[in-house]
């Protein structure tokens, strides 16, 4: 049994849970929460960075970060399921990196608000992050993914949009109608998207 150190609110951990379901590997993974702010958390010995998600294998070896874990799960499932081979691989991985960038920028925005006193918030830093998100979403809106494809890029984008819904009230939706339609189609094809949605409380 593999162990996924995770948090239900993390979009990066959500990617792994959705991928595992799509690949039929969920029954081989036990999901356990990790408190990244706790100095005594065993996660820090499993992953020196103390970051989630971290996948701990049966022999105790750990794999991180989410992109590497996704590639490992695709390998376990026979390969080519979520990450294509050949030239198409690089298009998918590039779009996956763009989706990850949205998540990174959104999380850094939340951290600025959560970890620093209001008086020390940097408007310049927050604008820098919001600009990344805006440009990435504009690129996805201009070339919306194939709604029939469930690959690492699609899973990443769905989780990025889900995180924007969770932490930013879904404000992205007003200016990105194609992505709204795409996300609804993705959710219908991948029931794990709704099953992994973070619920407060």
- Whether the CB-CB separation of 64 and 53 falls below 8 Å is answered with yes
Helices 123-142, 177-189: inter-axial angle, 10-degree rounding: 70
- The CATH number for 88-195, chosen from 3.20.20.70, 3.40.630.30, 1.20.1050.10, 3.40.50.300, is 1.20.1050.10
Instruction: State the average pLDDT over residues 89-111.
Output: 96
Q: What's residue 116's pLDDT?
A: 74
Q: Give the chain's radius of gyration (CA, Å).
A: 17
Q: What's residue 118's pLDDT?
A: 73
List every span in the chain annotated with CATH 1.20.1050.10: 88-195
Q: What's residue 114's pLDDT?
A: 74
Instruction: State the average pLDDT over residues 91-117.
Output: 91
Please choose, from the candidates 99, 123, 105, the residue with its C-alpha nearest in 3D space to the C-alpha of residue 167.
105
Instruction: State the average pLDDT over residues 67-86.
Output: 97
Tokens of 193: 């998207």
- The CATH number for 2-76, chosen from 3.40.30.10, 3.40.640.10, 3.40.50.300, 3.20.20.70, is 3.40.30.10
Q: Is the pLDDT score of 102 beyond 80? A: yes
Tell me: the pLDDT tens digits for 64-73? 999 999 999 9
List every span in the chain annotated with CATH 3.40.30.10: 2-76
């Amino acid at each position: 049994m593999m162990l996924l150190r995770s948090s239900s609110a993390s979009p990066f951990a959500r990617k792994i849970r959705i991928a595992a379901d799509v690949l039929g590997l969920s029954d081989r993974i036990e999901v356990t929460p990790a408190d990244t702010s706790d100095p005594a958390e065993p996660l820090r010995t499993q992953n020196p960075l103390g970051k989630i998600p971290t996948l701990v294998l049966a022999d105790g070896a750990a794999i991180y970060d989410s992109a590497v874990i996704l590639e490992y799960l695709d390998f376990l499932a026979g390969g080519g399921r979520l990450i294509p081979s050949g030239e198409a691989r690089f298009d998918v991985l590039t779009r996956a990196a763009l989706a990850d960038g949205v998540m990174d920028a959104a999380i850094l925005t939340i951290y600025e608000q959560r970890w620093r006193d209001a008086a020390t918030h940097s408007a310049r830093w927050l604008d820098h992050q919001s600009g990344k998100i805006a440009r990435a979403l504009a690129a996805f809106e201009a070339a919306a993914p194939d709604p029939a494809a469930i690959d690492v890029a699609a899973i990443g984008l769905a989780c990025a949009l889900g995180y924007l819904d969770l932490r930013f009230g879904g404000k992205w939706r007003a200016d990105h109608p194609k992505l709204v339609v795409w996300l609804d189609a993705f959710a219908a094809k991948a029931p794990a998207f709704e099953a992994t949605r973070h619920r407060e409380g």
